[in-house]
Amino acid sequence: MARWYDRAAICVTGGAFTDRGGHTPWEPAAHCCAILHGPHVENFSSDYRALEAAGASLEVSADSLGDVLTALAGDASRRARMGQAARAVLMRDAGDPAPLLDRICVLARAGLATDR
């Protein structure tokens, strides 16, 4: 998925078009994608509010998705701004992952040592 996000520039979080609670926006945000989503984001409502406030995502209807996607695909500057804003919100809210990754590595090494 990471390669797809890196090449996409725009992501449609399709899970937000059905009444299932939505799909996490953070995967596409990590890869600087402009994010388009439907109205069903209940499981991630505060996340999408933060992204929308930063200009990183747009809620669209299923009927308007094609037109919005076409317009955004033709506007490289706007896509880039939205993608950078998405990444900035992620970094602001999640912070640097290095301490977490370090801790996971320590725990993994400890687990390997006790499995022997």
The pTM of this model reads 0.81
The pairs formed by 47-54 with CB atoms below 8 angstroms and a separation of 24 or more are 47/93, 48/22, 50/89, 50/93, 51/25, 51/85, 51/86, 51/89, 54/85, 54/86, 54/88, 54/89
**Res 81: pLDDT:** 98
The predicted pLDDT at position 115 comes to 58
> What is the distance between the alpha carbons of residues 99 and 105, in angstroms, rounded to a whole number?
10
pLDDT digits (tens, 9 = 90+) for 49-94: 999 999 999 999 999 999 999 999 999 999 999 999 999 999 998 8
Q: Domain locations in the chain?
A: 2-114
Which homologous superfamily does the CATH classification assign to the domain defined by 2-114?
Answer: Glycogen Phosphorylase B; (3.40.50.2000)
